[in-house]
Structure 1
Amino acid sequence: MTAQTTLAPPAVRPAAPAPARGPDATRTWDRVRFSAETPAEAVDPSPSDLAGLPPVAPWAATLARAAVEVLTGSRPTAQLARWLSAELYESLARRAGLAVRVLGRPDPALCARVRRVRCCEVRPGVHEAAVVVHDGVRIRAAAVRVECHRGRWRATALEIG
C-alpha cells in the first residue's frame, strides 16, 4: 500500500507595488543604474552648438571607462564632475564610496579598457551609447545617455552591468 501525498498549492506572494513613474520616481535595480530625468522644458540645441562638439562614440567610451574606474576605486569621482549632470554625479559618488568600503582599494595595475562602442542618435543633440568595458577582472556592459548642454556633451543617464 502506498501513501498518497497531496500537494499544497504554491504559496502566493503579494504582488509587488508598481514602480513609480515620472520625474520624482526613485529607481532601484540589481545592476548599477544612475539616472537623471530630463526636464520637460529642455530645448533642442542650435546647429552651431552641435557643430563644435567632439564625436559621440569616443566621448561616451571615455566616460564609461572612467565611470568603471571610479566604481572599482582606481579613479576619484571628482574627475567626472564636469561630464555628468549633478544628480548623476551624486549617485555615482555614493555608489563608488560604498564599493570602496565593501571591496577595498584595487590593485593599481588594473585599468579599464573599452572593447566596443555602439551609438545611436535619439534626437538632435541627444545620443545613447552601449559600451563594453573590461575592468581587468570582469567584462561589463554600460549604457550612456549623452546630451548637448551649453556647447558640450554631458551624461544624463548611466547604467553599468
Structure 2
Amino acid sequence: MSSPARSIHDSRSTLAVPATPGSSMPASAMPAPLRVVEKTHNEPCTETFGAGVLTSDELLHELPNPEPLLRNLGRSVFEAMAGVREVEQMARWIAPDVFSGLLARVQHAARARRIRGRSARRPMIETKTCLWQSPRAGVVEATVLVDLGLRVRAVVIRLEAFRGRWRAEKLHVL
C-alpha cells in the first residue's frame, strides 16, 4: 500500500502527515507565503502583515473607550500624591517621561508629609467630570475634575494610541 501520506498511530487518534511539504496538500490548505515589504528610511510603510493599514476612523473603533482610563488616572494621581498608591501601578498606562515627572512629584509630597509629621491617609476622592475630545485619530485630550473634599482640582491628560491601547503622553495637575 503506497500513499503520499504516512500515518502516525496513537492509542487516541490517527493523524495523517504529508510525506513532503506541499506534496499532497490541496492549494486551499497551503498557508499563504509571507510578503516582504522593503522600506527606505524616509518613506512611510503602507503595507503591514495581517489585517492591513487602519484608517483614522478604524483606528478609533479599534481602541477602547478612553473615559474609564481618564477617570481612573485622574483619581490615581491624587492617591499616589497622598501616599496610598504606588506610582508603579500606573506605569503601564503612562509614558516613561510622565512616569518620572509623576514620581518626582509623589516623592516631593512624601517629603512634605514627613516634615510636617503627617501620615499617609486615604483621601475621599470623587471624579466629578471628564471632558474629552479627539483632535485627530489616535489622540485624546481630556480634563478630569476631581473632588478632594475641601477643594476641586483638575488633571489635564493627553492620551495617544500605543500598541492597541491608550497611554498618557502628557499629564498635568492644575
| Residue 51 (str. 1) matches residue 65 (str. 2) | no
Could you tell me the TM-score, scaled by structure 2's length? Answer: 0.61
Superposed CA deviations along residues 73-124 of structure 1, whole A, max 9, x for unmatched, are: 121111000000000001101110110110243323x242100010011110
Correspondence 1:3-152 to 2 at 5 A: 46-47=54-55, 49-104=59-114, 105-108=119-122, 110-152=123-165
Distance 2:91 2:149 in 1: 24
Distance 2:91 2:106 in 1: 13
Letter of the structure 2 residue corresponding to residue 46 of structure 1: L
Superposed CA deviations along residues 111-153 of structure 1, whole A, max 9, x for unmatched, are: 4210001001111010101110023443111110000111000
Which stretches in structure 2 are left out of the alignment for 5+ residues?
1-44, 46-52
How many residues were matched structurally?
A: 117
SS of equivalent residue, structure 1 residue 82? helix
- Contact 2:83 / 2:121 at 8 angstroms: preserved in 1? no
C-alpha displacement of 1:57: 1.9
Larger RCO (alpha carbons 8 Å, 6+ apart) = 1
SS of equivalent residue, structure 1 residue 94? helix
Letter of the structure 2 residue corresponding to residue 148 of structure 1: A
Instruction: Report the structure number with the largest CA radius of gyration.
Output: 2
Letter of the structure 1 residue corresponding to residue 85 of structure 2: R
SS of equivalent residue, structure 2 residue 144? strand
C-alpha displacement of 1:49: 4.8
Could you tell me the TM-score, scaled by structure 1's length? Answer: 0.66
Letter of the structure 1 residue corresponding to residue 96 of structure 2: A
Distance 1:62 1:147 in 2: 16
SS of equivalent residue, structure 1 residue 75? coil
SS of equivalent residue, structure 1 residue 81? helix
- Contact 1:69 / 1:111 at 8 angstroms: preserved in 2? no
Which stretches in structure 1 are left out of the alignment for 5+ residues?
1-42
